[in-house]
């Protein structure tokens, strides 16, 4: 059959580019690999040249795939499954990039794209390391290219998932009726992007995170090259600036994810220790540890095995994280893991290859490491840096073990799952770790390499210790930490100590020379992040407590949602809030929630928030909080339920209007004889009598002639309060037309329609409609997060510090090179 309107050329081009990217990477990997064994310089140069050509072919192909996929998304080419699955016509174009990396194929593409960028930089910069470092890069590119190949080896074994698969040929839709229609393209519409991802953070978070992942490969590749070429110490110098770069980018990427969770998700916070979040945090922690032991070795010649171990582990943990989030294994443990695309085996091979490679090279190199006999002095900088790196490793180990429960279950057949108390258990370990690390961050820089005099140290640290003690006491006055919360207070002290000590170091020791202060500034930033996290999580307060709810006992004291009827004012914490109704903009329904403060008994409007619900009939509605930012605290407001929307949803499902314009519900149809009665939800309706209208004055009033028929039903309505009401709906036949005259009892919210007569049984046909209470309401949750701006500020400062450290390292490197 000829299908109408398909543009197949793009898929063909795309697939050609995929094949080319795979071939290029393979060629590059093989050539670079061989170049390591070349006997002569010219032979080596030739192989390297071929390796570069292969890598460039891979680079051009990857960029082409990217471009083609973007083109298809922009033009809504739904004949391609990836485009159908991740976009539709209604979504805003600014989120088209999010569509690109919503799926597994797209995010692999993003990763391989960053490897293209970094790999080309390394071709240019790595000089004598190129042959080995680029072998690793090219091998990674081979694996990544294979993830989007989509080649069927046998019926059951498919390598990769191809982003250019046609919708009508996709295995899920085989034999679907639409595949038999020549003009199916005019009829289909894309499935659309998950509403949660239609957020600006989702445009920038994934690229940043994947650049972070890609940059962990640099220290890994250098470490492997060091082991391979038995240059056990030389690899550190070129790898170190890249390690700092990785820390900066990956750290930023992770925090952007946190910002997304905070602003767009209903977590009620920026970090939930979700397995997916954790699995990107762990490589970062290990990379930080790696950078520190690398610095120790560069300065003192110790901790070489630790430097190798951590630099290698960081990338291997990225692979492990990839496996966790993409194999579908976290399905029951996390809300935002990818679903299984049947690539579990392939991901395992990818991971296993590099683990085995690292082990083999490590074992080969064992005993060959330069020995360093002298033990560090207890009060030396290198000793405490080492301890810091060790604690970081333990912290990473803890998170990994906890995150790996689904894997452990799979291997050992156990059935462990996260408890509802999981966050508490995480904090129980991570709080002491954070305490030790921030403590070391505080005094570490005041220690000299080799040996420091104890008395001297105390004198140097005194100002910072004193200042942070004062600040901690002030914090206790403000935040009122209770006895069981003393760990928070201790961490508060150690983080403020880390901040003040590093500030002191910049001012007194470095004499304000900012370019040299990269490490201190980055440390201040990191401590600020911890401090902000500590304050905002330990002192976040749900102010939307619902006190009227049924008490479920101490253990389930979780009444965090408040019901807010429209135009009612309720007290919530220090505020009085009022729901003013909703407004619709596209798929979003905004709820106007006004916050008031009471000032001398008078309500003063403080601010207005517009938490929204994004309607999406295909994937489910998603509500997005709105947050009012103040310098010291945020007020977060999240709508969890909208009565109007629920009603509308019911109307959609049942396919009819539930209420008319005046707010009356669908009427009930009743057949009543004289003296019969019927209950409405609040009233009793009794048919008193059926009275034909014969009175000529009354007929004239209705403009009827004597040929017409007019009957009225006299209804008695008894309300709960015991009062009697009378209603007289009329049934009129004017000529050939039936013309009922409805009667409303506004006060009772009832509407009667006398629409027919059962002449055989002498009964009246009566419709009764009740007015729904116009009690539109929302249920919302409001949380105050104090001090969260400290966290975001810390992030910016950490980036600044890292940039300074990189510039410092690179310029020192160049200075050394020129000697």
Cβ-based nearer residue to another protein, 644 or 744:
644
Residue 276's Cα: distance from chain center in Å?
Answer: 9
DSSP, collapsed to helix, strand or coil, labels residue 281 as helix
- Which part of the chain contacts another protein (CB under 8 A), choosing from 424-432, 491-499, 570-578, 713-721? 424-432
Residue 569 interacts with another protein (CB under 8 A): yes or no = no
Distance CA 537, CA 539 (A): 5
Distance CA 288, CA 292 (A): 6
DSSP, collapsed to helix, strand or coil, labels residue 670 as strand
Among 581, 553, 556, 579, which residue's Cα sits nearest to residue 568?
Answer: 579
- Which part of the chain contacts another protein (CB under 8 A), choosing from 20-28, 421-429, 601-609, 756-764? 421-429
Minimum gap (Å) between residue 269 Cβ and another protein: 15
Distance CA 377, CA 355 (A): 34
- Which part of the chain contacts another protein (CB under 8 A), choosing from 410-418, 468-476, 577-585, 705-713? 410-418
Among 37, 74, 416, 630, binds another protein (CB under 8 A): 416
| The 3-state secondary structure of 149-183, one letter per residue | CCEECCCCCEECCCCCCEHHHCHHHCCCHHHHCCC
Residue 468 main-chain phi, psi, to 5 deg: -70, -30
DSSP, collapsed to helix, strand or coil, labels residue 292 as helix
**In the beta sheet, which residues pair with residue 585?**
588
Token reading at 375: 């033990």
Cβ-based nearer residue to another protein, 467 or 559:
559
Among 117, 188, 570, 718, binds another protein (CB under 8 A): 188
User: CA torsion, points 255, 506, 492, 269, in degrees to nearest 10?
Assistant: -10
611-650: contacts with another protein (CB under 8 A): 613, 618-623, 640-641, 643
Residue 167 interacts with another protein (CB under 8 A): yes or no = yes
Q: Under 8 Å CB-to-CB from 241, ≥6 apart: which residues?
A: 806, 809, 810, 813
Cβ-based nearer residue to another protein, 43 or 773:
773
Among 3, 56, 173, 369, binds another protein (CB under 8 A): 173
Among 289, 299, 290, 287, which residue's Cα sits nearest to residue 253?
Answer: 287
Cβ-based nearer residue to another protein, 162 or 167:
167
Residue 659 interacts with another protein (CB under 8 A): yes or no = no
Residues, the chain, total? 819
428-457: contacts with another protein (CB under 8 A): 428-429
744-803: contacts with another protein (CB under 8 A): 775, 777, 779
Binding map of another protein across residues 368-397, x = CB under 8 A, - = no contact = -------x--x--------x--x---x--x
529-548: contacts with another protein (CB under 8 A): 546, 548
Residue 84 interacts with another protein (CB under 8 A): yes or no = yes
Q: How distant, in Å, are the alpha carbons of 73, 277, 279, 810, 819 from that of 257?
A: 24, 8, 12, 29, 44
- Which part of the chain contacts another protein (CB under 8 A), choosing from 284-292, 415-423, 506-514, 809-817? 415-423
Among 234, 263, 476, 560, binds another protein (CB under 8 A): 560
Q: How distant, in Å, are the alpha carbons of 358, 438, 491 from that of 528?
A: 36, 10, 12
Residue 571 interacts with another protein (CB under 8 A): yes or no = no
Distance CA 192, CA 526 (A): 38
Binding map of another protein across residues 305-344, x = CB under 8 A, - = no contact = --------------------------xx--x--xx-----
Cβ-based nearer residue to another protein, 420 or 760:
420
Q: Under 8 Å CB-to-CB from 602, ≥6 apart: which residues?
A: none
Under rule CB under 8 A, how many of the chain's residues touch another protein? Answer: 69
Residue 126 main-chain phi, psi, to 5 deg: -80, -10
> 46-59 burial by CB neighbour count: b if 16+ within 10 A, else e?
ebbebbbebbbbbb
Residue 107 interacts with another protein (CB under 8 A): yes or no = no
Minimum gap (Å) between residue 658 Cβ and another protein: 16
Binding map of another protein across residues 193-212, x = CB under 8 A, - = no contact = -x------------------
Count other Cβ atoms within 10 Å, centred on residue 490. Answer: 16
Cβ-based nearer residue to another protein, 33 or 579:
579
Count other Cβ atoms within 10 Å, centred on residue 577. Answer: 23
Minimum gap (Å) between residue 614 Cβ and another protein: 10
- Which part of the chain contacts another protein (CB under 8 A), choosing from 155-163, 243-251, 399-407, 680-688? 399-407
Distance CA 527, CA 493 (A): 11
Among 8, 151, 176, 363, binds another protein (CB under 8 A): 176
Distance CA 78, CA 188 (A): 7
Among 156, 420, 705, 759, binds another protein (CB under 8 A): 420
Minimum gap (Å) between residue 147 Cβ and another protein: 18
Instruction: State the residues that interact with another protein by CB under 8 A.
Output: 78, 84-85, 167, 172-173, 176-178, 180-181, 184, 186-189, 191, 194, 331-332, 335, 338-339, 375, 378, 387, 390, 394, 397-398, 401-402, 405, 415-422, 425, 428-429, 546, 548-550, 552, 556, 558-563, 613, 618-623, 640-641, 643, 775, 777, 779
């Amino acid at each position: 059959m000829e299908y109408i309107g398909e543009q197949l050329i793009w898929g063909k081009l795309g697939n050609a580019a995929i094949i080319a990217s795979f071939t290029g990477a393979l060629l590059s990997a093989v050539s670079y690999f061989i170049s390591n064994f070349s006997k002569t310089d010219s032979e080596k140069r030739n192989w390297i040249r071929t390796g570069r050509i292969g890598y460039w072919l891979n680079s051009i192909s990857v960029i082409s795939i990217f471009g083609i996929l973007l083109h298809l998304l922009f033009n809504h080419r739904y004949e391609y499954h990836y485009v159908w699955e991740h976009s539709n016509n209604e979504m805003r174009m600014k989120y088209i990039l999010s569509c690109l990396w919503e799926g597994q194929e797209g995010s692999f593409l993003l990763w391989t794209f960053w490897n293209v960028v970094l790999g080309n930089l390394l071709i240019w910069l790595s000089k004598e390391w190129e042959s080995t470092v680029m072998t690793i890069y090219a091998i990674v590119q081979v694996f990544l290219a294979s993830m989007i190949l989509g080649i069927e080896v046998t019926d059951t074994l498919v390598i990769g998932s191809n982003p250019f698969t046609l919708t009508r040929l996709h295995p899920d839709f085989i034999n679907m009726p639409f595949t038999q229609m020549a003009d199916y393209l005019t009829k289909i519409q894309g499935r659309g992007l998950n509403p949660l991802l239609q957020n600006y953070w989702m445009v920038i978070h994934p690229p940043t995170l994947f650049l972070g992942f890609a940059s962990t490969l640099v220290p890994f590749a250098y470490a492997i090259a060091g082991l391979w070429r038995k240059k056990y110490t030389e690899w550190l110098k070129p790898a170190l600036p890249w390690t700092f770069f990785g820390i900066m980018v990956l750290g930023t990427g992770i925090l952007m994810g946190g910002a997304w969770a905070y602003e767009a998700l209903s977590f009620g916070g920026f970090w939930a220790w979700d397995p997916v979040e954790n699995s990107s945090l762990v490589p970062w922690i290990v990379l930080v540890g790696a950078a520190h032991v690398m610095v120790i070795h560069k300065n003192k010649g110790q901790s070489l095995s630790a430097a190798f171990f951590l630099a290698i582990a960081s990338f291997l943990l990225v692979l492990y994280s990839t496996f966790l989030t993409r194999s579908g294994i976290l399905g029951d443990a996390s809300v935002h893991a990818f679903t299984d695309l049947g690539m579990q085996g392939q991901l395992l091979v990818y991971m296993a290859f590099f683990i085995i490679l690292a082990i083999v090279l490590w074992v080969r190199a064992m005993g060959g490491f330069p020995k360093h006999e002298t033990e560090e002095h207890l009060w030396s900088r290198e000793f405490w840096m080492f301890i810091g790196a060790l604690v970081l490793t333990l912290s990473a180990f803890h998170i990994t073990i906890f995150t790996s429960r689904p894997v452990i279950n799979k291997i050992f057949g156990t059935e462990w799952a996260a408890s509802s108390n999981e966050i508490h258990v995480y904090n129980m370990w991570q709080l002491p770790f954070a305490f030790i690390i921030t403590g070391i961050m505080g005094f570490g820089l005041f220690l000299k390499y080799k040996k420091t005099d104890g008395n001297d140290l105390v004198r140097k640290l005194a100002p910072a210790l004193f200042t942070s003690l004062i600040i901690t006491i002030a914090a206790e006055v403000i935040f009122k930490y209770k006895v069981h919360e003393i760990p928070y207070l201790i961490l508060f002290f150690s983080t403020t100590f880390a901040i003040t000590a590093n500030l002191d170091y910049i001012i007194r020791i470095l004499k304000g020379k900012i370019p040299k202060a990269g490490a201190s500034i980055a440390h201040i930033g990191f401590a600020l992040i911890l401090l902000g996290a500590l304050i905002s999580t330990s002192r976040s307060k749900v102010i939307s407590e619902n006190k009227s709810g049924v008490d479920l006992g101490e253990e389930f004291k979780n009444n965090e949602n408040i019901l807010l009827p429209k135009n009612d004012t309720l007290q919530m914490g220090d505020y009085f809030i009022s729901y003013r109704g909703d407004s619709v903009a596209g798929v979003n329904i905004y709820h106007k929630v006004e916050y008031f403060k009471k000032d001398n008994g008078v309500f003063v409007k403080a601010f207005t928030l517009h938490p929204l619900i994004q309607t999406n009939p295909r994937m489910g509605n998603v509500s997005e909080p709105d947050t009012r930012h103040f310098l010291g605290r945020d007020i977060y407001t999240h709508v969890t339920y909208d009565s109007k929307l629920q009603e509308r949803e019911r109307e959609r499902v049942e396919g009819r209007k539930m209420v008319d314009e005046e707010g009356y519900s669908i009427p009930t149809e009743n057949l009543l004889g004289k003296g019969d009665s019927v209950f409405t939800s609040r009233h009793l309706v009794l048919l008193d009598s059926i009275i034909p209208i014969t009175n000529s004055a009354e007929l004239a009033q209705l403009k009827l002639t004597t040929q017409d028929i007019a009957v009225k039903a006299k209804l008695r309505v008894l309300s709960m309060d015991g009062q009697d009401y009378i209603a007289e709906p009329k049934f009129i036949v004017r000529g050939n037309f039936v013309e009922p005259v409805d009667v409303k009892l506004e006060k009772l919210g009832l509407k009667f329609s006398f629409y027919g007569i059962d002449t055989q049984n002498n009964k009246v046909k009566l419709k009764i409609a009740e007015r729904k209470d116009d009690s539109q309401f929302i249920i919302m949750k409001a949380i105050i997060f104090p001090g969260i701006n400290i966290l975001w500020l810390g992030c910016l400062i950490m980036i600044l510090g890292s940039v300074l450290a990189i510039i410092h390292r690179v310029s020192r490197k160049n200075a050394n090179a020129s000697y």
